[in-house]
């Protein structure tokens, strides 16, 4: 485990913000080859982040949120390594999170190499684009550091309930049976009529200030960020619309959005996939962002610390998921989508065999605690993180290192959650690994 010491004389905290366009080219696979490739760019995909340094932090901490579906394995390591080099810090202190829009790429160059080596017809990503993109973000970070940073004196926290956006995939049918078919765009009347189920109704905003001047706002909410998708219309979807609206309303404040733990949370109760719903959902998120900002409480930033612990998940290896099974699917399956899914599963298995753990990083900023979880962690882990630190304003982000796929709890496995088919690559011990990791990582400084 890595951790900062908070017993040295602090210098001033400073923040640098950076931005890069990471829009995929026409023809690039979307969602790891699982849906139609890019045929038109509706709106750009962005990477927006900051570098925080000084104070009681021993080295800078970087956070960047990316309008991509996922970044996995070697690609995730490359993002952290290149941004760390640009920021003069350690890779474990770089927090990379994707918002998880689906008309956007999954980047896993190991999986792509597996496909190419076996002459498969499926494609997860373009390796040259993947490498160029992280380079452009690293250059944007380096250029930001060439400019004077802004001094940070205060941290702000605010939250607001979101109206009619999130719902759990799980709902009860009229006959009393359980369904997990409430997708991002649900057309089943029962999915619309059933209660929202387990969600986190709050959008949370963490802000950084120089005295009474706000500089940066990081907002987070737990929901799959899709209204409609799958036709190759590249877009940051309703989250991107809301974020850009806040940027226009408050141009002096850098606006960052990051998805919470929403592997099992969608807009499906309130969205049937009709195109007019995208701006409606965006307006509801924007309203919550504005409300969270309006009730923000500002406090002097007196202490900050970073720590990270390694998580060691085990891969799913049941029928169809042994290494031999996956190799056979890549080489022999006629469906390019299944080839891609097998390659994504195999790249994850090769990572675990190599003994490469996943980091669980925690950044504490005075009253606020920011923790980045891997993969499509279910919302239960976000709620657990909040229970573990009732003394703090906890923002739990999802979609860090995303090679795990879904991370459910035992309840969903017992229910037979139908989503735990193709995009689920961890063993049933994953709940214990992640829950125990959160308990260790979120122990407060006073309890250490």
Work out the pLDDT band at 389, boundaries 50, 70, 90.
Answer: very high
| pLDDT exceeds cutoff 90 at 11 | no
Rounded-to-integer distance, Cα 44 and Cα 240, Å: 9
pLDDT at 308: 97
Summary mean pLDDT of the chain: 95
pLDDT in tens, 187-205: 999 999 999 999 999 999 9
pLDDT in tens, 336-362: 999 999 999 999 999 999 999 999 999
Residue 1 lies in a domain: no
pLDDT at 8: 44
Strand order in the sheet with 393-397: 2-3, 304-311, 358-365, 368-372, 393-397
Rounded-to-integer distance, Cα 144 and Cα 63, Å: 14
| pLDDT exceeds cutoff 60 at 9 | no
Element (H, E) at 415: helix 410-415
**Of 354, 437, 343, whose CA–CA distance to 124 is shortest?**
343
pLDDT in tens, 255-295: 999 999 999 999 999 999 999 999 999 999 999 999 999 99
Other C-beta atoms closer than 10 Å to the C-beta of 337 total 15
- The residues, ordered by sequence, that sit 6+ positions from 23 with a Cβ below 8 Å of its Cβ are 41, 44, 45, 234
pLDDT in tens, 215-231: 999 999 999 999 999 99
Mean pLDDT of 56-74: 97
| pLDDT exceeds cutoff 70 at 15 | yes
Rounded-to-integer distance, Cα 105 and Cα 33, Å: 8
| pLDDT exceeds cutoff 70 at 106 | yes
| pLDDT exceeds cutoff 50 at 6 | no
Instruction: Output b/e per residue, 364-392; b: 16+ Cβ within 10 A.
Output: bbbbbbbbbbbbbbbbbbbbbbbebbeeb
Element (H, E) at 287: helix 277-294
Residue 160 lies in a domain: yes
Residue 446 lies in a domain: no
Element (H, E) at 208: strand 202-210
* CB distance 5 to 55 below 8 Å: no
Query: First CA to last CA across the chain, in angstroms?
Result: 12
Work out the percent of the chain whose per-residue pLDDT is above 90.
95
Residue 5 lies in a domain: no
Rounded-to-integer distance, Cα 342 and Cα 327, Å: 7
Mean pLDDT of 70-91: 98
| pLDDT exceeds cutoff 90 at 447 | no
Mean pLDDT of 407-424: 95
Rounded-to-integer distance, Cα 188 and Cα 174, Å: 12
| pLDDT exceeds cutoff 90 at 85 | yes
pLDDT at 302: 93
pLDDT at 10: 52
**Of 367, 308, 298, 253, whose CA–CA distance to 15 is shortest?**
253
pLDDT at 448: 41
Residue 66 lies in a domain: yes
* CB distance 206 to 258 below 8 Å: no
Work out the percent of the chain whose per-residue pLDDT is above 70.
97
Element (H, E) at 159: strand 154-161
**Could you list the residue range(s) of the whole structural domain that residue 312 is in?**
12-441
Choose between 448 and 170: higher pLDDT.
170
Other C-beta atoms closer than 10 Å to the C-beta of 435 total 16
Residue 7 lies in a domain: no
The domain total for the chain is 1
Coil, strand or helix at 365: strand
């Amino acid at each position: 485990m890595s951790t900062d010491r908070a017993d040295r004389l602090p210098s001033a905290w400073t923040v640098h913000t950076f931005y890069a366009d990471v829009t995929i080219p026409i023809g690039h696979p979307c969602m790891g080859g699982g849906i139609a490739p890019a045929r038109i760019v509706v709106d750009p995909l962005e990477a927006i982040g900051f570098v925080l340094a000084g104070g009681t932090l021993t080295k800078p901490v970087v956070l960047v949120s990316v309008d991509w579906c996922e970044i996995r394995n070697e690609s995730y390591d490359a993002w952290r390594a290149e941004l760390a080099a640009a920021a003069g810090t350690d890779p474990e202190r770089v927090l990379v999170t994707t918002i998880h829009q689906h008309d956007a790429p999954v980047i896993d160059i190991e999986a792509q190499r597996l496909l190419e080596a076996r002459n498969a017809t499926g494609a997860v990503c373009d390796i040259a684009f993947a490498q160029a993109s992280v380079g452009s973000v690293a250059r944007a970070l380096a250029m930001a550091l060439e400019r004077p940073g802004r001094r940070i004196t205060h941290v702000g926290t605010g939250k607001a309930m979101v109206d009619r956006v999130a719902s759990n995939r799980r709902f009860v049918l009229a006959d009393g049976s359980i369904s997990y078919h409430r997708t991002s765009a649900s057309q089943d009347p029962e999915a619309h009529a059933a209660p929202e189920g387990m969600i986190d109704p709050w959008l949370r905003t963490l802000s950084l200030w120089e005295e009474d001047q706000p500089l940066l706002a990081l907002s987070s909410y737990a929901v799959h960020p899709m209204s409609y998708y799958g036709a190759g219309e590249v877009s940051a979807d309703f989250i991107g619309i809301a974020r850009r609206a806040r940027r226009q309303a408050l141009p002096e404040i850098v606006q960052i959005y990051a998805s919470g733990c929403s592997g099992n949370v969608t807009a499906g109760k309130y969205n049937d996939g009709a195109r007019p719903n995208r701006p409606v959902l965006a307006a509801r998120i924007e309203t919550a962002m504005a409300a969270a900002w309006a009730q923000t409480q500002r406090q002097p930033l007196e202490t900050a610390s970073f720590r990270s612990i390694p998580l060691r998940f085990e891969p799913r290896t049941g029928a169809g998921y042994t290494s031999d099974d996956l190799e056979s699917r890549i080489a022999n399956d006629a469906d390019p989508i299944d080839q891609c899914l097998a390659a994504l599963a195999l790249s994850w298995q090769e990572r675990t065999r190599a003994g490469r753990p996943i980091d669980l990083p925690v950044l504490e900023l005075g009253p606020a605690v920011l923790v980045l979880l891997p993969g499509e962690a279910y919302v239960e882990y976000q709620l657990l993180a909040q229970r573990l630190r009732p003394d703090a304003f906890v923002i739990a982000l999802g979609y860090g290192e995303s090679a795990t796929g879904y991370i459910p709890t035992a309840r969903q496995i017992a229910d037979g959650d139908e989503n735990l088919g193709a995009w689920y690559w961890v063993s049933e011990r994953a709940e214990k690994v992640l829950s125990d990791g959160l308990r260790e990582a979120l122990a407060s400084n006073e309890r250490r």
